[in-house]
Structure 1
Amino acid sequence: MATHKILVIDDSKVIRSRVRDMLPKGNFEVLEAKDGLEGLNLVRQERPNLIMLDFLLPRMSGWEVYQHIEEEHELRLIPLVVMSGRKEEVTEKISEPFEFFEFIEKPFEQKQLVEAIKSAMIKIKRKPPLVTSRSSVPDGYASSTENSADIQALQEKIIAMQQEIDQLKKQMTQIITIIKQKLK
């Protein structure tokens, strides 16, 4: 009997089958989704123990699926392995280091897959939960649901701003690299 549910969200049947074949037999129930929308629905319905998410998907991109997962308290603490054939597709949206999820570049071998899963399980333990209730806010700051909603909105803005800052840092590094190359 399977003890862990792994959801593989990838438009390639080959990748979905490959992941299924690489996992130890009997320990995993592998759920499959062929596009982002189907994948997000399965995440919400099945609450898998691990999500393997391709970044380029039809109907809803992996980036959009990732954003929805991050916004939902129950989902954001599910270990995540992001997959892509080109790492730069991921780093355009999410700057490195990937602190709370693991990245694996396609194509990958069984050993790389197992290491990515282990790493994702470790990284997710460091992820802070969303602050959504009065119990997680000091007294005097949240006297109503409206204040909690305001706090949540501010936290989301902070996350978005941090992502923008990280992207600007990346761009600045690229500019400095180009300038250094021109000065040689």
Structure 2
Amino acid sequence: MASHKILVIDDSKVIQRMVREMLPAGNFDVLEAKDGEQGLKLIREAHPNLIMLDFLLPKVSGWEVFQQLQKISNAEGKMTPLVLMSGRKEEVAEKIAEPFEYFEFIEKPFDKKSLIDAIKSAMAKAKKWKPSGKAAAPAAAPKTSAPEAQGGASAAEIQALKQQIAKMQAEMNAMKKQMGQIVNLIKTKLK
């Protein structure tokens, strides 16, 4: 019989299967939820020993699930170990201030070693959590000056936008490269 229940909340069947296959056989009962709504229901009903949570989910987002987990943890007086997953760490860091003190983050795609390390780290971090403390507080909103209050952008906001543009450009370049590889593969197959 499995000694640990792991809940994987991810809309990707590939990620769900990957996690199941990477875990040592027989030690884990892997529960799966395809969206945040189903994930919250399983958290309340199954009381998993560990939660792996995708940040971008349908119905109820990973951010909303994270916030509900904070409320559940405070009510129960204990933190369920959490591994937050995303292909873009920046999206997580926009909502939750780093360093991630009470949960672990793993960037998709990941390998078996990274997954096992993240699980071990999440378990250790959850033990440090205290109900009276603020667990992973949201990032503080920047103070606005008079020009910003009148609709102008701050230097920090402009810098953040420039970083987003740079990220998007890098993603577009990667997609162009992949598209070129696909076109070359199709050309090769058509010969």
Letter in 1 for 2:92: V
Letter in 2 for 1:10: D
CA change 1:45–1:130 in 2 (3 A) is farther
- Report the identity percentage: 62
Post-superposition CA distance 1:100-122 (Å, at most 9, x none): 00000000000000000000001
Q: Give the equivalent residue in structure 2 for 1:89.
A: 91
Q: What TM-score results when the alignment is normalised by the length of structure 2?
A: 0.70
CA change 1:164–1:18 in 2 (3 A) is closer
Letter in 2 for 1:168: P
Shift of residue 74, structure 1, vs aligned partner: 2.6
What SS does the corresponding residue of 1:59 show, helix, strand or coil?
A: coil
Q: Give the equivalent residue in structure 2 for 1:51.
A: 51
Kept in 1: contact 2:70–2:135 (CA 8 A): no
Shift of residue 76, structure 1, vs aligned partner: 5.5
Q: Give the equivalent residue in structure 1 for 2:156.
A: 175
Q: What TM-score results when the alignment is normalised by the length of structure 1?
A: 0.73
Whole-Å separation in 2 of the counterparts to 1:50 and 1:102: 11
Q: Give the equivalent residue in structure 2 for 1:35.
A: 35
Pairs within 5 Å for 1:64-143: 64-72=64-72, 73-74=75-76, 77-130=79-132
Shift of residue 176, structure 1, vs aligned partner: 11
What SS does the corresponding residue of 1:168 show, helix, strand or coil?
A: coil
RMSD, aligned α-carbons: 2.5
Post-superposition CA distance 1:101-153 (Å, at most 9, x none): 0000000000000000000001011111249xxxxxxxxxxxxxxxxxxxxxx
Q: Give the equivalent residue in structure 2 for 1:155.
A: none
Shift of residue 164, structure 1, vs aligned partner: 4.5
Moved over 6 A (4+): none
CA change 1:39–1:175 in 2 (3 A) is same
Whole-Å separation in 1 of the counterparts to 2:65 and 2:109: 21
Shift of residue 42, structure 1, vs aligned partner: 0.2
What runs of 5+ residues in structure 2 fail to find an aligned partner? Answer: 144-154, 160-191
